[in-house]
Amino acid sequence: MTKLPGLVLMGFSALAFSIMAACIKATVKEGIPPAEIVFVRGVLCSLLTLATIRAARVSPMFGNRKGMLALRGFLGFCGLYLYTTAIGSIPLPDAMALQYTHPIFAAVFAGIFLKEKMPKHSGFAVAICAAGALVILNPRGTGDLTGNLIALASGVASGLAYTAVRTLSKTESPLTIMLSFHIAAALFGGIATFAGEFVWPSGQLWMWLIAIAIVSQTGQWFLTHGLRKEKAGVATTVGYLAIAFGAAWAWIFFGETIGWPVLLGTALMILGLAMLVRRS
């Protein structure tokens, strides 16, 4: 698998993450709260990642910069919890499109917090991306504005998390960075779950929850190896294929159709991001 071209690996990553989103949608529709989904996913993915770390003999297992790792984990939890909540309240393509604003926010936050210089005349590209997000939000339309804002907030939180990853990648193993995210998801998801109402899943729902963890871990594996072979900007643009896959699952399994605001808004975001990458 690792011998495949980087863009192919990124395509498989997009497919895996779209399947994860569809599984989350199915689980929420069956009455499992978002916090519980995040909690179970965090526990299962922590176990899978710990086993991989032991096999790879990564040391130290829990990393060097524990404070920054904890911050990355918390930001990742916030992004995942908001995303899971949005998936349960608005159409799947809408939630995915707004969550996939995270590369744009990551670029902006890298300039603010990491002092990375934005390319000259990049303001126009960022404005196009922002216009695309605004079209999807559709604040004057008939959509669920609250659900859309939650999905957009997940993109902001994920953008911050990826900015932290960018810093940590200089000193930490990718597996250690992944583990910090999964542990935070298990910890904070567990607190939110047991502070509310825990719903014991049926046999079929356990299958959905396990599938969410496995597909998520698979998508992360493809993403990691794809990023090693392709420039981050190109790879991120290919990641938008997940929205197309998600639209297909939404139509096949949930009877949801993709509206023109999502189509137009996603096209604008891809255009803006492509311009930003090219100028970089």
CA gap 129, 72 in Å, rounded: 25
Structural domain boundaries enclosing 15: 6-279
In a domain, 1, yes or no: no
CA gap 67, 4 in Å, rounded: 36
CA gap 15, 215 in Å, rounded: 9
In a domain, 237, yes or no: yes
In a domain, 119, yes or no: yes
In a domain, 138, yes or no: yes
**In the structure encoding, which two tokens stand for residue 155, read together?**
């993109």
| Overall number of domains in the chain | 1
pTM for the structure as a whole: 0.91
In a domain, 190, yes or no: yes
Q: What is the pLDDT along the chain (280 residues), one digit of tens a residue?
A: 657 777 788 889 899 999 999 999 999 999 999 999 999 999 999 999 999 999 999 989 899 999 999 999 999 999 999 999 999 999 999 999 999 998 888 888 888 888 877 766 678 888 898 899 988 887 655 568 899 999 999 999 999 998 898 888 889 988 999 999 999 999 999 999 999 888 999 888 999 999 999 999 998 888 777 766 666 556 667 778 899 999 999 999 999 988 888 889 999 988 888 787 766 5
CA gap 151, 81 in Å, rounded: 10
In a domain, 227, yes or no: yes
In a domain, 275, yes or no: yes
